[in-house]
Chain A
Amino acid sequence: MESLTLTDVEQKYYSDLFIYCDVDNTKKVASNGKVLDLFRAAQLSNDVVLQITELCGATRLGHFGRSQFYIALKLIAIAQSGLPLRVESLNSVKDLPLPRFVVGKNEQEARHAAMYPDTENQGPYTSVIPRPPGRVQTKKVSTHEVIQPCVPTVEPQPDTTSPVVSPHQSPPTSPHAWRKHKRQASGGAVERQPAVAGASWPPFREAQSGPVAGDGLWSAHSPPPVQESWVSFTDTPPSSTLPAMHPSSAQESTTVRTVASAATTNEIQRQASGYDDPWKITDEQRQYYVNQFKTIQPDLTGFIPGSAAKEFFTKSKLPILELSHIWELSDFDKDGALTLDEFCAAFHLVVARKNGYDLPEKLPESLMPKLIDLDDSAGVPEPAPEVGFSGSPVEVTPNKSPSMPSLNQTWPELNQSNEQWETFSERSSSSQTLTQFDSNIAPADPDTAIVHPVPIRMTPSKIHMQEMELKRTGSDHAHPTSPLMPKQPELSEEKKLAATIKFPVTTVGDGYSSSDSFTSDQEPISSAVTRQRSHSGTSPEGLKVVAPPPPPPRPHASHSRSSSLDMNRNFAAVPAGTQQQAGVVAFPPAVPPRPLATQTSVPHGHRSVDGDSLPTHTSTSPQQIPEQPNFADFSQFQAFAVEKPPEDGDKQQESVQVEKTADAAGAMRAVMSETQPEQTTATVNSAKGSTPLAPPPKPVRRRLKSEDELRPEMEDHPQKSGLVATVLATQPSIPRSVGKDKKAIQASIRRNKETNTVLARLNSELQQQLKDLLEERISLEVQLEQLRPFSHL
């Protein structure tokens, strides 16, 4: 035979074909049947085939040796290119394209079966394989594919030359073949056309060349078979071994062959990729998908919402049902949104579907967005390269070779992962969690309901309780004194801290009463009083209650008092003899008036203040009043409040006052309750009273004073009461002189009227204070009741 020089590509190609044909023998002799089929697949006339066989010397040998086979192939190429068959042309023709063969369907099926480990494919696979290729071939003349010999020689990777070549070479057949491929006769096997990558390849490239719009992609259907054939070609050599071999071994043979033929790494990848995973997305495809993704969602790590994806994929004009299925396959984490990987998978599936491939039941491995990290299943899948998107071909082979045979196993793995997905989603979206979520809100409420502060201090309340009880019970003054003495500062301190108003009020009251009990020491008591005042001033409501600071805030009161004092002094000067008392006595406005109720003469104004208690105690004569020991207490109070040294009478009153203090608390309430009606009547009395009467006796004032002292507004009361007391003190002397001198009477009348106005004013103020105190008392009582259970702690 003539020497045959083959290019590397040709060498490789021919060797592949030889191996393909060399089913039985060991690379030396090719069987006739296969070779003839192959030659017929070259779409040459029988004459040409015969000529070729003759030329290559097979007829001589009776079989095809490798060299003969190669020669025949080259002659076929020559014939296909239209050149006359000449032996000389074997070596002379340069740049001869590789012979093209239309592969029979069964081969394709076999290859597909190997690539798609679907069980359903096994049926046709097994049924088809035994058939001799020829028969199949004849039957499937219409459904042939064109093997692109140039393909393996071309770099699979973004090399525009080779991909460009293939479509050009077989444009007429491609749509033809494609149409046939569109789920026809041979059933599922057709659908298993290889190279979804290939199918989408031309569309992708067309899209690349043309407008990179979805329309370009959708309309580009024609070239797929080219790639398919290319892919199929790469598989034909091993496909012959498929019937007998495991896909992995076929792969191995492929790899062995490729290695032996020193194929380029790209070639290996091409074959491997085409062989392994038709669902794999190539780089260019992925790039296209990424670009499309960007048009919808600029952020590559973000999501495409379901609605946007729906619109996008609806443009593909696929039925909604299929789109729905594609979505189910591609939305791996079932979140209703597509990540980049999910989007690429969905796009890939859409492209495949558009090209006539049936959608798989489960998402192909190569399209899985994430297989490694199942923990992040609910999260965003990492934008890591897809499993199918292999970088180096060497890696692809070992990856795929075990994966191919185990692809059936991967489905259960995927099932497991799906189950894991399910369990995860179940955990996240189970109905119980839905309800639990709602129920979680409820328990939070009691926690948030730990709101009501417990400002109460048990100890102070206890102390207050004790004090109140002590006072009520009228125990020893020493007792209230002693416990109260040390407690007083505590009380004052606690008053500072106490959040409630009542405490300052009560403490003030108690303090005052207790301070009153400390007859010996006025200063500390007054200081205590002031301290208490300040403390009560700090508390908010205490401010309100005890608010009025010493004299200055009530200038008018003081003024009135001063005026009344003056008047009292004046009055006192007139009767002469009661000055001391007038100066000393600071009459409490409330209680004392009771005995003065009968005295409607001069001190009407006074009585208006004292009249708080006057109407109810009309029985007592004003004259008797000063003699009452109670009033001595009031004077004592007054003395303390005004910081005036107690008079002798006051001393007496002090002694009595001590007793009075014990009862003051109890008396206060009674007084206060009485003052209300008394106030009303007092005003009436004041209105009535026009005759100058002796000012209400001291005891009346003292009663008022005591009541005032017990009230939180102590600073006012003493002064007021002092004024009133002075006025009242001076007044008793008035009526005596009235009858004697008209002028004196008129003067006294004038004075009385003045005092009347003063006292009326005082009365109104005291009435207001009374009301406030009553309110506070009520709230205090309520609080006490609340605190009672705590007091025992």
Chain B
Amino acid sequence: MYVIICMHCFCPQNYPLYIRSVPSQSELKFHYTVHTSLDVVEEKISTVGKAMAEQRELYLGLLYPTEDYKVYGYVTNSKVKFVIVVDSSNTSLRDNEIRSMFRKLHNSFTDVMCNPFYNPGDPIQSKAFDSMVSAMMVQSS
């Protein structure tokens, strides 16, 4: 059973760059959840205000928990947002692990960005990125 249910990337304009879900449950529900979680992300990054970009933590942490799953958020310095939905049943997934997952995501995303053939704002079609996400989703289970 996969712990990570889905992983989404959003561009600064809040439309999705990358969506990956475990193709089991109703993916639409998770899409909806993730989309609403963007509001929480926006709220978190707007509260810092003047201490912007210096002190703002990239890892946003638990955005909000529901009874079934938890949603974690992460935002880069360029306002690219990563959202991970994790199954709540697995309590062994510590915060550090989530952080490391986000770090890996960020690194892979950076690699995608470094590709001159990738235009920012395009959906991410990098195989390396896909493989990394797959590995992550498999690993955490």
* Interfacial residues, chain A to chain B (CB-CB below 8 A): 305-307, 309-310, 320-321, 323-325, 327-328, 331, 334-336, 361, 422, 425-426, 429-432, 434-435, 438-439, 442
Indicate if the CB atoms of A320 and B117 lie closer than 8 Å. Answer: yes
Stretch binding the partner chain, chosen from B14-22, B51-59, B90-98: B51-59
Complex Cα distance A310/B76, Å? Answer: 26
Indicate if the CB atoms of A334 and B125 lie closer than 8 Å. Answer: no
Indicate if the CB atoms of B54 and A442 lie closer than 8 Å. Answer: yes
Indicate if the CB atoms of B107 and A328 lie closer than 8 Å. Answer: no
User: Given A310-B117, A320-B117: A426 and B104 within 8 A (CB)?
Assistant: yes
Stretch binding the partner chain, chosen from B28-36, B38-46, B108-116: B108-116
Indicate if the CB atoms of B116 and A336 lie closer than 8 Å. Answer: yes
Cross-chain contact of B58 among A320, A426, A429, A435 (Cβ < 8 A):
A435
Indicate if the CB atoms of B126 and A324 lie closer than 8 Å. Answer: yes
User: Given A429-B110, A431-B103: A321 and B125 within 8 A (CB)?
Assistant: yes
Complex Cα distance A430/B107, Å? Answer: 7
Nearest A residue to B106, CB-CB: A431
Indicate if the CB atoms of A435 and B117 lie closer than 8 Å. Answer: no
Q: Min CB distance, A773 to chain B, in Å? A: 47
User: Given A323-B117, A328-B115: A430 and B55 within 8 A (CB)?
Assistant: no
Contact with A along B118-132 (1 / 0, CB 8 A): 100000011110010
Name the residue among B76, B106, B114, B127 with the largest chain A CB count within 10 angstroms. B114
Indicate if the CB atoms of B126 and A422 lie closer than 8 Å. Answer: no
On chain A, the residues within 8 Å of B111 by CB distance are: 328, 334, 425
Complex Cα distance A439/B77, Å? Answer: 14
Complex Cα distance A1/B87, Å? Answer: 81
Complex Cα distance A429/B106, Å? Answer: 9
Complex Cα distance A306/B111, Å? Answer: 12
Complex Cα distance A425/B106, Å? Answer: 11
On chain A, the residues within 8 Å of B58 by CB distance are: 431-432, 434-435
Indicate if the CB atoms of B127 and A328 lie closer than 8 Å. Answer: yes
Name the residue among B125, B127, B131 with the largest chain A CB count within 10 angstroms. B127
On chain A, the residues within 8 Å of B104 by CB distance are: 422, 426
- Ordered by A's residue number, 26 sampled pairs between the chains whose C-beta atoms are within 8 Å are A306-B114, A306-B115, A306-B116, A309-B116, A323-B117, A324-B117, A324-B125, A325-B126, A328-B127, A328-B128, A425-B111, A426-B104, A429-B107, A429-B110, A431-B58, A431-B59, A431-B102, A431-B106, A432-B103, A434-B77, A435-B56, A435-B57, A435-B58, A438-B53, A438-B54, A442-B54
Cross-chain contact of A430 among B106, B127, B128 (Cβ < 8 A):
B106
On chain A, the residues within 8 Å of B53 by CB distance are: 438
Cross-chain contact of B116 among A325, A327, A422, A425 (Cβ < 8 A):
A327
On chain B, the residues within 8 Å of A431 by CB distance are: 58-59, 74, 76-77, 102-103, 106
Query: How big is chain B's contact interface, by range?
Result: 20 to 34
Give 18 A-B pairs besides A327-B115, A429-B106, A439-B55 with Cβ atoms closer than 8 angstroms: A306-B116, A324-B118, A325-B126, A325-B127, A328-B115, A328-B126, A328-B128, A361-B131, A422-B104, A425-B111, A426-B104, A429-B107, A430-B106, A431-B58, A431-B59, A431-B106, A435-B54, A438-B53
Complex Cα distance A432/B103, Å? Answer: 9
On chain A, the residues within 8 Å of B102 by CB distance are: 431
Complex Cα distance A324/B55, Å? Answer: 34
Indicate if the CB atoms of B127 and A361 lie closer than 8 Å. Answer: yes
Q: Min CB distance, A201 to chain B, in Å? A: 27
Nearest A residue to B77, CB-CB: A434
On chain B, the residues within 8 Å of A309 by CB distance are: 116
Q: Min CB distance, A46 to chain B, in Å? A: 49
Q: Min CB distance, A426 to chain B, in Å? A: 5
Q: Min CB distance, B76 to chain A, in Å? A: 7
Q: Min CB distance, B77 to chain A, in Å? A: 6
Nearest A residue to B58, CB-CB: A431
Indicate if the CB atoms of A336 and B114 lie closer than 8 Å. Answer: yes
On chain A, the residues within 8 Å of B77 by CB distance are: 431, 434
Q: Min CB distance, B56 to chain A, in Å? A: 8
Nearest A residue to B108, CB-CB: A422
Give me the 9 closest cross-chain CB pairs, A-B, nearest first: A306-B116, A336-B114, A324-B117, A310-B116, A431-B58, A334-B111, A438-B54, A327-B115, A323-B117
Indicate if the CB atoms of B76 and A327 lie closer than 8 Å. Answer: no
Q: Min CB distance, B84 to chain A, in Å? A: 15
Indicate if the CB atoms of B116 and A426 lie closer than 8 Å. Answer: no
Complex Cα distance A307/B119, Å? Answer: 12
Complex Cα distance A361/B126, Å? Answer: 11
On chain B, the residues within 8 Å of A429 by CB distance are: 106-107, 110
Nearest B residue to A314, CB-CB: B117
Nearest B residue to A428, CB-CB: B107
On chain B, the residues within 8 Å of A331 by CB distance are: 114-115
Q: Min CB distance, A750 to chain B, in Å? A: 76
Complex Cα distance A331/B128, Å? Answer: 12
On chain A, the residues within 8 Å of B56 by CB distance are: 435
Q: Min CB distance, B11 to chain A, in Å? A: 17
Q: Min CB distance, B120 to chain A, in Å? A: 13
Indicate if the CB atoms of A327 and B107 lie closer than 8 Å. Answer: no
Nearest B residue to A441, CB-CB: B54
Complex Cα distance A429/B114, Å? Answer: 12
Complex Cα distance A615/B5, Å? Answer: 95
Q: Min CB distance, A435 to chain B, in Å? A: 6
